[in-house]
Chain A
């Protein structure tokens, strides 16, 4: 079920009303049933995979709780290997066979492994990361194993964050699932406001941009210059609004049920460095990779070459996590390189800033850093969005080809009407204006101090912009494919 569908508008209040009507001790059953219903709406058979991985990780955790740490390793392996096994079969097998076939072709070896008709189950990368972190945390005594199978199943399958995160930690969610929640008007209204804001980002900004970006990226060889550059910059906003919109709806929905999910985005395009970007973008994945891959590898507290190696490997895995294609691997590698170069040149850049006295103009200094960071991130999105390595190569090499000739409004409307184009640009600017205001604190808190007429006008504007602009093609959330 999509958050941006009419079905969800019916589903959410129904579940919420039943939740508050039911006594506390039975609520987990409702939420678990609702979560499986939500998941099975796509394809019922993949619920078996969800249930299977839940049972294995539950069993691993349960058994680890019964033995001393020294004897826990087999159970940890059981959970990790089963999760990675599912990921390999459902996500990476065709990528691996396809890569092997291409390598054999290059080396003139007569080899052709067959491609299997495997469909990637939605959300598998998200919930398997949750089961793995649970097993690792139990192994390391960070949390106690959950004995209640129902509550544990709900932790893995909780519908707001099941298919696209945030990737939660058992230590944060399990205690909340046991806490008694009363219907609180302020909490519910805050949750609803966050849902509306998320829908605005998804429907009004991301989906409208998608039509413009798809026109260019799905016909990349036909374009050069300004349209390629514009589509690439727009994709930066599309992916941000698509994914952070989903996270907002997930967090807002969970809030209605009294569950506080972790923040997943903190205005990432205002970052002053790539390192800062990764502290503000898809925070739940970044922190997962940091805690379960980067730090176990040795993190930064080691010799420099090893530190760079750790960074590179972590981001290579991040790229692979996002998708089974070489474009994603290259995207991850590029971010790894950004960070390594950033770390290597940090002191030189600081000296340069002082030498040209840029530190005396903090706003300009920040503006330059933010612009450079945004440009680097946007450049990397080419690899992320391109349909193939060939397309990515064409886009990168033709970003500025015939730039002045292609810089005219008719071309830049990217196949849509001028009204469509300018409304889309306006919606991006409106969103960024909100982000600028958010620098000074929560906009919801700020709004609550404003007169009723102003508050309601803003809410009505948001609601009507969602209603009026929901005519564009309904796109799935980009991160569903991961």
Chain B
């Protein structure tokens, strides 16, 4: 009887020690992966969001039209108000909403948000844009980021509370790459600036053949995605909740704007939002200012940012 109790005690003790070692190793491994994957990144804007380092008057949200075209630092110099660019190329309005929510909930509350919209697929599903979940993976050490990833069902949620190694495992390959190769080297299209913007210093391969598209297109609201509409409405609601001014920016494109798009977006943005429209500005119908049909190049973005700064200043 006594020996059986003693054996049971030994078993419980062994299991307890095993679990403690398991837990300690789990935390150690996840810490190592997390440190390596963050050190691997050149774009650490999400880390800045989570560490509440974005104390700016104006934050810019949007896809590549935001990140490529808007030079926050130049605008800050002209307007005297600080601006930071949180545009992520290839991202949709669903992603912008989550990044905005992360930003606000982490305590970075700006006075104004500029949302740069994509003509004509801001609330229509398009192969060029999606929810850029890949940009979140390196920052899974932040619980709110993990929650977004779990919500997207690329990870089971409950195990992320138990095992940090499970939470971080998607970063394993890249963490190993950091040990082997060091930090990622940005290519010509990913030259991130201290102000968060990513201007393009080259021309697209398609540039020589690029022609101004003056054809008339009509916006078709029947193609709108209910999900993207909902996310757009959430952005408007978040701005109202945090008492933040929302400005909808229609950037220049090397093509004629889609008829009815602006009207529809402003309708969705509601009466409290203001707008700035450069989509018909003749200054930007000059081919040399563009990288491709949808994005300005370095010189184009400087010129656009200067004009935008003056508009903001003179409101």
Contact = CB atoms under 8 A, between A and B. Distances in A.
> What is the interface of chain A mostly: helix, strand, loop, or mixed?
helix
A185 interface: yes
Given A419-B176, A419-B177, A470-B169, A460 B11 contact: no
Contacts of A464: 25-26, 29, 165
Contacts of B22: 460, 463
A451 to B, nearest CB: 14
A425 to B, nearest CB: 14
B200 to A, nearest CB: 27
Interface in B170-192: 170, 172-173, 176-177, 180
A410 to B, nearest CB: 15
A382 B272 CA distance: 63
Contacts of B25: 460, 464
Contacts of B172: 419, 468-469, 471
B169 A468 contact: yes
A468 B26 CA distance: 10
A41 interface: no
Q: Is the interface of B mostly helix, strand, loop or mixed?
A: helix
Given A419-B177, A456-B21, A471 B170 contact: yes
B177 A468 contact: no
A467 interface: yes
A417 B180 CA distance: 13
A468 B32 CA distance: 13
B177 A460 contact: no
Contacts of A469: 169, 172
A445 to B, nearest CB: 19
A37 interface: no
Given A185-B11, A468-B29, A468-B169, A417 B156 contact: no
A104 B170 CA distance: 50
A417 B169 contact: no
A468 B165 contact: yes
A479 interface: no
A423 B169 CA distance: 14
A420 B21 contact: no
Contacts of B176: 419
A220 B282 CA distance: 50
Interface in B145-172: 156, 158-159, 163, 165-166, 169-170, 172
The 5 closest A-B pairs by CB, nearest first: A471-B170, A471-B169, A419-B176, A419-B173, A6-B156
Interface of B: 11, 18, 21-22, 25-26, 29, 156, 158-159, 163, 165-166, 169-170, 172-173, 176-177, 180
Given A463-B22, A470-B166, 7 more contacts: A419-B176, A464-B165, A467-B166, A468-B29, A468-B165, A468-B169, A471-B170
Interface of A: 5-6, 185, 417, 419-420, 456, 459-460, 463-464, 467-471
